[in-house]
Amino acid sequence: MPSNGQLTAPRPIPTLERLPRPVYARAESLGAGSWTTRHRHDWVQFSYAISGVLSVYTSDGSYFAPPQWGVWIPADLEHDVATSMQAEMRSLYVRRDACPWASEQCRVLEVTPLARELIKQFCLLPAHYPEEDSAEARLVAVLLDQLRGLPEVGFSLPLPRHPGLLRLCNQLIAAPDQAQTLQDWALQLGCSEKTVMRLLQRETGLSFRVWRQRMRLLSSLALLEAGESVTEAALGCGYDSTSAYIAAFKQMFGVTPGELRLL
């Protein structure tokens, strides 16, 4: 799932020195294999996938937004963005002083129907919309209030900082269908299974089983977006049983793989 293996040229990053208003909108149609170089900016970014799967990578982990979800990226956080397939993305850039409540952690948020319509309407406004006691300013105030309350979902994949453990995690990310076990990891690291479990839990907040399951389900998003069947996606991300994959997928994303395609 790393974003640096794409063959296409990186897409340009906006060269804004400052935002013209407290909130600034950017609408993009991204081609398959679109990606950016690692960068940071002086404002908060909320990137929302209307279609396609949006992937955001940081030094602490990876964050994935299927259709109708978005990624909240704090100001000054180094990150790069990629899409494996074609995607429609809407990004909101927000000044720090307009969202003092903003989390300093990268998060994946569910875009509610009301927030979706507010984002849609805001994207129609000019960049220099009227600010003083205007309908546009009131729309922005409601939009920010809605963004503040969006529910967080677990579409992130935290990464450990321990060099050996990080290497094993990246190997599994590169080939999610491999059948490495906790015992295999312990042998490669030269320690006990309990030590690996404690280390992974401490550095990612997840057990080995939960981390591997989340990694596999997230990796299957790109396969589904590429048009693979549910069975092919299940096998490609390491599941032997299609029914087990569908059940785990629905538990994590709230919809089945087939339903996700209809969003």
CA distances from 174 to 84, 238, 243 (A): 14, 12, 24
Q: Of 80-89, 103-112, 124-133, which gets the smallest average pLDDT?
A: 80-89
| CATH 3.40.50.2000 assigned to 159-261 | no
What's the average model confidence in pLDDT over 107-134? 94
| Phi-psi map region of 254: left, alpha, beta (phi>0 left; psi -120 to 50 alpha) | left
User: Which CATH superfamily does the domain covering 3-153 fall into?
Assistant: Regulatory protein AraC (2.60.120.280)
Q: Which residues, 6+ apart, have CB-to-CB distance to 138 below 8 Å?
A: none
What are the tens digits of pLDDT across the range 81-91? 988 777 888 99
pLDDT of residue 263: 61
pLDDT of residue 12: 79
Matching CATH topology for 3-153 and 159-261? no
Residue 186 phi/psi, 5° resolution? Answer: -60, -40
User: What is the per-residue pLDDT across 46-104, written as a single tens digit (0 to 9) for each?
Assistant: 998 888 888 899 998 999 988 889 999 999 999 999 887 778 889 999 999 999 999 88
Strand intervals (E) in the chain: 23-30, 34-35, 44-51, 54-58, 61-65, 69-73, 80-83, 87-94, 107-110, 152-153, 156-158
pLDDT surpasses 60 at 1: no
Tell me the domain boundaries of the chain.
3-153, 159-261
Residue 262 has pLDDT above 80, yes or no: no
Query: In terms of Cα–Cα distance, which of 181, 44, 138 is closest to 100?
Result: 44
Rounded average pLDDT over 8-27: 86
